Amino acid sequence: MSGDQRICLVGDSFVAGVGDPQALGWAGRLTAHARTAGAARTVYNLGVRGHTSADIAARWSAECLVRLPAGSDGRVVFSFGVNDTVLVDGRCLVEAESSTANLSVLLSTARARGWEVLMVGPPPVDDAGHNRRIEELDRSFERICAEFEVPYAASFRLLADAPVWAEQVRAGDGAHPGSDGYAAFAARLLPAWRQWLGY
């Protein structure tokens, strides 16, 4: 395996760390932890606010190809789903069947290119109805990842026992936490992240 490890973090506003005054989010905190341990030398944050699985499916390949050249230890973290489940005129922005199909295409394409993948599922928000849709999609995503033998971090369940996440999301815009919420998110993702990177 090449020592030139490069990681693309591809996703939505939670990947970008929207709402974090420290501008780190969970992605920046996990990157810092890995670098302190001598891992994750080059990490690219490709989070875009408002993006759905369909938006990500349309852009991710070109963005990752230029950042994960042949001969490198190319890796991709995908994280999305909350925007897919937003209701507009009574319908999800992306229906569940399309969301899971998009994920399957992403995983199969990444596999064909030899890129290791970690999938981070969608986290809960401050809306009970929306959370029911997120939870359902989360379980569907987990099943797809199991079929592809891709590690899956079930954020929705991981954050169920994190009151600081719920409190800061509620105090913010109803979706994004502040620094402490993202720190709690990163702490719960850390075991999967470390296992995936092998440090």
Element containing residue 116 per DSSP (H, E): strand 116-120
Q: For the segment 151-164, what is each residue's pLDDT rounded down to a tens digit?
A: 999 999 999 999 99
**pLDDT at res. 3:** 78
Percentage of residues of the chain with pLDDT beyond 90: 95
pLDDT, position 178: 98
Cβ atoms within 10 A of the Cβ of 178, count?
A: 18
Tokens representing residue 189 in the block: 């993702």
Say if pTM beats, i.e. exceeds, 0.95: yes
d(CA 86, CA 43) in angstroms, rounded, equals 29
Helix extents (H) in 45-178: 53-65, 96-112, 128-148, 155-158, 163-171
Domain interval for residue 184: 5-197
pLDDT in tens, 34-87: 999 988 789 999 999 999 999 999 999 999 999 999 999 999 999 999 999 999
Task: Please tell me the total count of domains within the chain.
Answer: 1
CATH of the domain at 97: 3.40.50.1110
pLDDT tier for residue 2 given thresholds of 50, 70 and 90: low
